[in-house]
């Protein structure tokens, strides 16, 4: 049975593993490397995060691992639970569970994560993308506010982009559009400059009209502030199967 893998931050509980009973001998960095090496054999990982046990528990670590695919997470849990893996004692691995009423906002992946995900499933030469239209909307919004006599608001950098992803082996083309915004106040606090460059690799012979662009898939509008955030809130709603995770008690 086929599984849909979304180009979004995986927040679903069935894509999240909790690994505990990790030895206190290695450092957190060493454990991160060992966990990544073991669990990446089952599929592409979104994140591996290692935490020290609570002060009331005996020394050691636990980890939270996120897959893009629920199927890969299930296979990893079954294969690794109760196994020694890279240490002398067995580890415990459980899938997360979450109450159905809890829902979270869909968070966008950054560009490098999108490319990593596409390369993993389609192959490095199995896909390509091209920009159909890239437009700076910052000035348009500023002029509209001036014409409408809107009270002063913080300026922001806003871009619209329409692009097309091509899967040549499947003879498939998928157009999409989106917008992103970032407050200028935040940009002024950061060093360096922001540049947007458009370098078409080939002449566009099937350029779309404005009306055709509007008929593409619905716009996913998000703030760049979302990138890399929100995972902590998602973790707070997770519990785990069977005997729910409890830090090891002191002897």
63 shares its domain with 134:
no
Instruction: Specify whether 101 is located in the same domain as 131.
Output: no
- Whether 176 has a pLDDT exceeding 60, the answer reads yes
Q: Count how many Cα atoms sit within 13 Å of the Cα of residue 235 in the half-sphere of its side chain.
A: 13
Q: Which domain holds residue 60?
A: 13-105
Q: Can you give the pLDDT at residue 46? A: 96
Is residue 175 one of the residues assigned to a domain? yes
- What average pLDDT does the segment 91-109 reach? 75
- pLDDT mean over 179-199: 56
Same domain, yes or no: 83 and 137: no
For the residues 235-243, what does the mean pLDDT come to? Answer: 51
Strand order in the sheet with 220-223: 128-136, 156-167, 172-183, 220-223
Q: Which of 82, 92, 49 minimizes the C-alpha distance to 247?
A: 92
pLDDT at 220: 45
The answer on 138 and 88 residing in a single domain is no
Q: Work out the percent of the chain whose per-residue pLDDT is above 70.
A: 64
Q: Does 74 share its domain with 139?
A: no
Give the per-residue pLDDT at 246: 52
- Number of domains into which the chain is organized: 2
Residue 111 covered by a domain: no
Q: What is the pLDDT of residue 238?
A: 56
Residue 138 within any structural domain of the chain: yes
Structure tokens at 73: 């997470």
- Does residue 80 have a pLDDT over 80? yes
Distance CA(127)–CA(166), nearest Å, equals 6
Whether 22 and 54 share a structural domain: yes
Give domain status of residue 190, yes or no. Answer: no
| Cβ(107)–Cβ(8) below 8 Å | yes
Residue 82 within a domain: yes
Same structural domain, 84 and 19 = yes
* Pairwise pLDDT comparison (33 vs 24), residue with the higher score: 33
Last residue of a domain, one of 135, 162, 183: 183
Residue with tokens 């559009």: 177
Do residues 35 and 90 both lie within one domain? yes
* Closest C-alpha among 47, 166, 59 to residue 110: 47
CB 189 within 8 A of CB 166: no
């Amino acid at each position: 049975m086929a599984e849909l893998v979304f180009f979004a931050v995986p927040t679903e509980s069935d894509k999240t593993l909790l690994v505990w009973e990790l030895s206190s001998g290695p450092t957190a960095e060493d454990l991160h490397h060992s966990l990544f090496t073991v669990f990446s054999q089952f599929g592409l990982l979104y994140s591996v995060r290692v935490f020290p046990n609570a002060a009331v528990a005996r020394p050691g670590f636990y980890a939270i691992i996120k897959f893009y695919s629920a199927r890969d997470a299930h296979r990893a849990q079954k294969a690794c639970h109760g196994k020694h893996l890279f240490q002398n004692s067995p580890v415990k691995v459980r899938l997360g569970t979450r109450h159905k009423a809890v829902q979270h906002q869909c968070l966008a992946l950054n560009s490098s994560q999108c490319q990593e995900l596409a390369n993993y499933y389609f192959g490095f030469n199995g896909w390509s993308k091209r920009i159909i239209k890239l437009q700076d909307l910052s000035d348009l919004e500023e002029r509209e506010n001036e014409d409408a006599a809107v009270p002063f608001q913080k300026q922001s950098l806003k871009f619209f982009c329409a692009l097309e992803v091509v899967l040549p082996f499947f003879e498939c083309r998928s157009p999409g559009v989106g917008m992103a915004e970032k407050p200028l106040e935040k940009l002024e606090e950061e060093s360096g400059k922001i540049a947007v460059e458009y370098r078409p690799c080939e002449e566009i012979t099937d350029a779309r009209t404005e009306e055709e662009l509007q008929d593409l898939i619905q716009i996913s509008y998000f703030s760049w502030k979302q990138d890399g955030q929100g995972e902590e809130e998602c973790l707070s709603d997770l519990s785990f199967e069977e005997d729910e995770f409890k830090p090891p008690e002191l002897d």
